Amino acid sequence: MKRFLVSFLAGVVLAGAVQAQTIERIKETGLLKLGYRIDAAPLSYQAEDGSPGGYTPLVCVELAQGILNSIKIPNMDVEFVAVGMQDQYEKVAAGEIDLLCGASTITLTRREIVDFSIPTFADGTTVILPLNAAEDLTQLAGKKLGVRRESTTETALNNTLSSSATFAEVVRFNDHSAAMKAMENGELDAYFGDQSILTGLWLNSPQRENLKIGNDLLTIEKHGLAMARGDTEFRLLVDSLLSSMYARGVMQAIFEKALPGVQPGDIHRAVFTMAPIIK
């Protein structure tokens, strides 16, 4: 767990007293608990010194200051809690963390457990392949295709294979690093994942010159910050702060900091303009 102190700054992002269960708990404890994934670089990961890194934790650091300004307490501890892919939403639902700052695709199934903020990132399922391999999915028939276990990518891949009547061996991995090693060693013919995560894996691969990322997307996915269901006041506060960050260009600046040299695609550029209007 990593903590830091957010000092009180003059000025209030949102006017008026805010009353809600999560907000009241933060007021009483002086603590905001943020969950983050350790294995979803460049969106969310654990740095070598044990601190959280990536696009979404940076978004949440900015949000934390806005929350402090809004609820008007002298200071507030922010505790980053590392979470696994298997239990991240359960920890949110149980109140163990107030916001999940990871790499969370908004789905209806997940909304049965948690609520989500307005979109914070736009991504899509694509594939990493050997440099000379064909990108057409039908050309991967009979091949070994890797995917992260129990992910939205696994569902998208299975649906795509089924709809195109393409038969292939799907190998499920518990983490991206193990799958990338399998790709580099020639044990896989392709690895499917979020475009952002595959970009990070490719950029850091010693076999980068022999691999490529596919241009086509199997899905378009919106990411959001997960929070407890039914807490409308806290969700409104988070959404209002995010909308202000979009309007002030903060979200784009965070993108450029977290993904240096990476140009946002058409889908993500649209996200920069889709936040609710603040009046």
Q: What is the per-residue pLDDT across 86-120, written as a single tens digit (0 to 9) for each?
A: 889 999 999 999 999 998 989 999 999 999 999 99
State yes or no: pLDDT of 75 exceeds 50: yes
Residue with tokens 């292939």: 168
Q: Give the residue with greater pLDDT, 135 vs 13.
A: 135
For residues 188-210, give the mean pLDDT: 90
pLDDT at 137: 81
Confidence label for 270 from pLDDT (cuts 50, 70 and 90):
confident
Domains and CATH numbers, the chain: 2-122+222-271 (3.40.190.10), 125-213 (3.40.190.10)
pLDDT at 274: 61
Residue with tokens 């089924």: 162
Instruction: Give the integer Cα–Cα distance in Å for 86 and 235.
Output: 24
The four Cα atoms 180, 176, 32, 74 give a dihedral, to 10 degrees, of: 10
Mean pLDDT score across all residues of the chain = 87
Confidence label for 275 from pLDDT (cuts 50, 70 and 90):
low
Q: Give residue 123's Cα distance to chain centre.
A: 9
pLDDT at 94: 92
State yes or no: pLDDT of 44 exceeds 90: yes
**16-20, 125-129, 147-151, range with the lowest pLDDT:** 16-20
Confidence label for 65 from pLDDT (cuts 50, 70 and 90):
very high
Q: Which of 207, 174, 206, 213 is nearest to 191 (CA)?
A: 213
